[in-house]
Amino acid sequence: MTTLKNDRFLRALLRESVDTTPIWMMRQAGRYLPEYRETRAKAGDFLSLCRNTEFACEVTLQPLRRYDLDAAILFSDILTVPDALGLGLYFETGEGPKFKKTIRTEQDIQNLPKINVNTDLDYVMNAVTAIRSALGGSVPLIGFSGSPWTLATYMIEGGSSKDYRFTKEMLYKTPELLHALLDHLADAVIDYLNAQIEAGAQAVQIFDSWGGALAHREYIDFSLNYMKKIVNGLTREKDGRRIPVILFTKGGGQWLDVMLDKGADAFGLDWTTRLDEARKLVNGRAALQGNLDPATLYGSNQTIEKAVKAMLDDAYANGEKTGYVANLGHGITQWVNPDMPKIFVDTVHEYSAKYL
């Protein structure tokens, strides 16, 4: 077992002492990096990039060569599970992911197969193992999945959606069908994340990208409770270390109080939530992650530094010494100048040390 040289990310998630605030960025391997675009061009298309072990490993490592990040995150996509269920994932230029088949009837749900993650998604596990080896213990590796609710919206709508028309119609007209689909997906995600952990992931994050589109009671019933099921089914220790679990619901900061008893170690926040108030509410019962507006990175050096320092002041306003991971409030965008994330990363490390 390789000794982990930098474990401050894992320590912060478990609310243990750290020397400086750890940081990583959602979507840190992506189109804003010219080296990523070059590798993607070699792969031919996005799915080929994900399915090629060498390329997936390469793009995972690229941001770590530029920035002093405290974690790597597996390069993959949240829609690998629906793709393995036979829905035919493809990408339209400028339109995002789409599926050739949709799930809208009871028969559609009954016809969904049970995934064997080690065969149907073996390329993901191959990537995890290769990335973990390539990291050589420099920083921990994060595995991830989409939440059942978020995966279901793509499967029902056939792609991205602004109003979730068909998903919400199912939710309010035939909720038992949606529950059946979500339960099927939760079982698949449990197997998927456990396989990533077995392959070498040292922490996992569940991306509930569209949970914020739900009303309060519906969020609990159709999103949060299924994430709780996943958390309860995960391997929580490997090689003598705890495997932290992060839940991230975009637009979900108002539900922190009901999230706290769901078994996760940490919760991601987007930029609409006050970090100081969130830390006060959580009161040391879990770690928090976030929550710089990704658009901040369009600004000047001075603007970025000011915003990052304000975020850190909020993170430590109540006297906490740990339990916080700096991150963006959502994924970094393709239009960011690749020089700017360095300002974000370096400011976090340099400024936060005074609090710790």
Residue 3 is predicted with a pLDDT of 87
Where along the chain do its domains lie?
A: 23-291
Residue 40 annotated in active site: yes
Indicate which residue of 32, 154, 164, 324 is catalytic. Answer: 154
**For all residues of the chain together, what is the average pLDDT?**
97
Tell me whether residue 165 is one of the annotated catalytic residues.
Answer: no
pLDDT in the model for residue 134 = 98
Q: What is the pLDDT of residues 284-326, one digit of tens each?
A: 999 999 999 999 999 999 999 999 999 999 999 999 999 999 9
158-202 pLDDT tens trace: 999 999 999 999 999 999 999 999 999 999 999 999 999 999 999
Q: Are 125 and 57 in contact (CB under 8 A)?
A: no
Enter the pTM of the model: 0.97
Q: Catalytic annotation on 11?
A: no
Q: Is 31 a catalytic residue?
A: yes
The CATH classification number of 23-291 equals 3.20.20.210
Q: Which residue has the tokens 């994060």?
A: 142
Please name the residues in contact with 308: beta carbons below 8 A apart, sequence gap of 6 or more.
Answer: 292, 296, 326, 343, 344, 347, 348, 351
Q: Which residues of 243-255 are buried (b: 16+ CB within 10 A; e: fewer)?
A: bbbbbbbbbbbeb
**314 catalytically annotated:** no
Distance CA 181, CA 81 (A): 13
**pLDDT digit string, tens, across residues 258-281:** 999 999 999 999 999 999 999 999
Mean pLDDT for the stretch of residues 67-85: 97
Dist CA 44 CA 298 (whole Å) = 29
Contact 97, 79 (CB under 8 A): yes
Contact (CB, 8 A) for 79 and 207: no
pLDDT tens digits, one per residue of 234-243: 999 999 999 9
Mean pLDDT, rounded, for 246-257:
97
* CA–CA separation, 291 and 199 (whole Å): 29
pLDDT at 101: 97
Average confidence (pLDDT) over 331-345: 98
Candidate list 36, 67, 70, 77, residue with the active-site label: 77
- Enumerate the known binding-site residues for substrate: 27-31, 77, 154, 209, 330
For residue 93, is pLDDT > 90?
A: no
Confidence band for 133, pLDDT divided at 50, 70 and 90: very high
What pLDDT shows up at residue 1?
57
Q: What is the dihedral of CA 271, 262, 125, 120, to 10 degrees?
A: -110
Residue set of the binding site: 27-31, 77, 154, 209, 330
Mean per-residue pLDDT, 74-85: 97
For the beta sheet containing 324-328, the strands, ordered from the edge strand earlier in sequence to the opposite edge, are: 72-73, 141-146, 203-208, 245-249, 266-268, 287-292, 324-328
Q: Is residue 216 predicted with pLDDT exceeding 80?
A: yes
- Of the residues 11, 40, 132, 279, which is catalytic? 40
- Cβ distance 347 to 23 under 8 Å? no
Record the tokens describing residue 202, joined without a space. Answer: 């040292």
